[in-house]
Amino acid sequence: MRGWSFSIGRVLGVEIRVHTFFLLLLGLAISYSSVSGASGARGFGLWLILLFAVVAREIARAVAAAWFGLELRSVMLLPTGGLQQYATSEATDRAATPEVGKRLGIVGPLTNLLLGFVLGAVIVTVSPEINLFEKPWMTPAHLIRALVWVNILLAVINLLPAAPLDGGRIFRGEFARNHGVLKGTRAAAGLGQILGILLAIAGCILPNMWLLMIGGFVFIGAHMDDASMLLSNENDPVKMRDVMLTNFSTLSASDTLEEALQRSVHTLQDVFPVVRGGNLVGAVSRQNIVEALQAEGNGYVQGVMTRTFQTAQSDDSLVKTLRRIMAGQGAQLVPVLDGDRIVGIITPQNLAHSMGLLNARRRLTQQRED
C-alpha cells in the first residue's frame, strides 16, 4: 500500500500520505476539461474540489477515531476516501469490532452529505440564479455546482456495501456479528471487488468516465483492504521459521567496505546482518556500503552499520512480528534468532512471499471450515 503513495507531512503526529491514484486523477481531470471545451485550470479546480471533499471526511473520521480512543499512525488519501492505519495493534483490533466499525463507518458519508447540503444552501442563498439541479452536475465548466454534487456523490458511493468504502465497513460489522471479524472482512472485500468490476463495466457501456474511474478505485481499494487484514489474524499458525530465508550471507563488523561490497556481488541479498564473533551486532545495506565508499573511501562495516534493529525468535508468529514492526518505523531486515544464534532473516524482498503464504493458508483454512 505504501509503495504506491507518498508522504506530504505530518499533522498532530499523524502521517498524511496521498495515493498516486490522485495524481492519475489530476491528469484525467485536466484531459477531460480540455476535451469538454473548458480550460485545464478548471480541470485542476475540479480535482481540488474532490481533494477538499476527501480531506473534510477524513478530518471527521480522525476526530471520530480520537473519540473512540484510537490513536492514528497514518492516513492515506484515495479518490474514494481514505485508509486509516492505527498506531497499535490494540487500536486496529478495536476499530475492526462490529460496534466501533459501524459507528466509524457512518461518519464519512454523513460528513459529506451535511457538507454538500450546507454548501448548497449557502449557494442558493447567496446566488439564487445558480441552478444546482441543471445537468451535468459535475463538470469543469460549473465548479460551484460541482462543489455540492462531488460531496453528495462521495457520500453515496461510500454507502455502497463494499470494502474499503464506509458502507463496506458497516456491512463488515454486521456480517462479523455471526461469522467473525476475519470472515466479515473477506466478505466485504470480495463484494467490493465485484462491485468495482460492475461499476467499471457500466462505465464502459454507457460510457461514463466517472463510473469507470470509481469502479477502478473501488476494486483496487477492496484488494488493498483485504491484504491489510492479513495482519489482523493473530491466531494464524504461520511462524517465522516457516517463511524466513535460511540461505543468507552475513558480514563481519571488522570487514572493510571494499571486502563487504565484493561479497555482496555474489548474492541477491540487499541487507546483511553484521556479526562480531557469534553475536549479532548490526545490519547494513548494499546501498549504504556503496554510499560510504563514494563519500569517505574505504573503512569498516562497523562504522556504517545500523545498530538499532528489531529481532524475532524462530517460533514467533509471523503476523504478530509484522504488526510489531509496522507499529514502529519499519525495518530493512529482521534477523530471526534461535536463542542468541541467527538462523534466518526476513527482508522486504521476501515479505510479499510471506504475505502470499498467509493468504493461501487462510483461504485453505476457510475452505475446510466451510
| Residue 78 and residue 154 in one domain | yes
Claim: this prediction has a pTM higher than 0.75? no
| Residue 111 and residue 134 in one domain | yes
Roughly how many angstroms between the first and final C-alpha of the chain, as a whole number?
A: 30
**Whose grid coordinates read 492515506?**
76
What nine digits make up the cell of 255?
A: 570487514
Find out whether 187 and 175 touch, Cβ atoms under 8 Å.
yes
At residue 126, the pLDDT reads 93
Show the beta-strand stretches assigned E in 150-199: none
Neighbour count for residue 354 (Cβ, 10 Å): 20
Residue-wise pLDDT for 61-92, tens only, equals 999 999 999 989 889 888 888 888 888 767 87
Q: Residue 348: CB partners within 8 Å, gap ≥ 6?
A: 332
Q: Among the three residues 202, 232, 262, which one is the final residue of a domain in this structure?
A: 232
Identify the domain containing residue 347 by its residue range: 240-369
Q: Number of folded domains in the chain? A: 2
Residue-wise pLDDT for 288-341, tens only, equals 999 999 998 999 999 999 887 778 888 887 767 776 665 555 566 788 888 777
| Residue 199 and residue 113 in one domain | yes
Residue-wise pLDDT for 14-37, tens only, equals 889 888 888 888 888 888 788 877
At residue 195, the pLDDT reads 85
| Residue 168 and residue 244 in one domain | no
| Residue 228 and residue 244 in one domain | no
| CATH number for the domain harbouring residue 314 | 3.10.580.10
Q: Among the three residues 205, 232, 259, which one is the final residue of a domain in this structure?
A: 232
Provide the 3-class DSSP secondary structure of residue 129. coil
Measured distance CA(204)–CA(261) in Å, rounded: 52
pLDDT band at 235 (very low <50, low <70, confident <90, very high): very low
| Residue 12 and residue 129 in one domain | yes
| Residue 246 and residue 221 in one domain | no
Higher pLDDT, 59 or 96: 59
pLDDT exceeds 70 at position 1: no
Provide the 3-class DSSP secondary structure of residue 32. helix
Tell me the CA distances in angstroms from 285 to 48, 312, 329, 333, 357, one per residue in order: 40, 19, 17, 9, 26
| Residue 196 and residue 316 in one domain | no
Which helix (H) or strand (E) segment holds residue 148: the answer is helix 143-158
Residue-wise pLDDT for 133-179, tens only, equals 988 888 888 899 999 999 999 999 888 887 778 887 777 767 666 66
| Residue 17 and residue 132 in one domain | yes
Residue-wise pLDDT for 327-363, tens only, equals 555 566 788 888 777 888 887 667 666 666 666 766 6
At residue 38, the pLDDT reads 83
Measured distance CA(145)–CA(122) in Å, rounded: 12
At residue 78, the pLDDT reads 84
| Residue 68 and residue 144 in one domain | yes
Measured distance CA(29)–CA(87) in Å, rounded: 34
Q: Among the three residues 232, 265, 294, which one is the final residue of a domain in this structure?
A: 232
Residue-wise pLDDT for 256-277, tens only, equals 999 999 988 888 788 899 988 7
Residue 215's beta-bridge partner residues?
A: none
| Residue 301 and residue 249 in one domain | yes
| Residue 223 and residue 247 in one domain | no
Residue-wise pLDDT for 100-139, tens only, equals 878 888 999 999 999 999 999 999 999 999 899 988 888 8
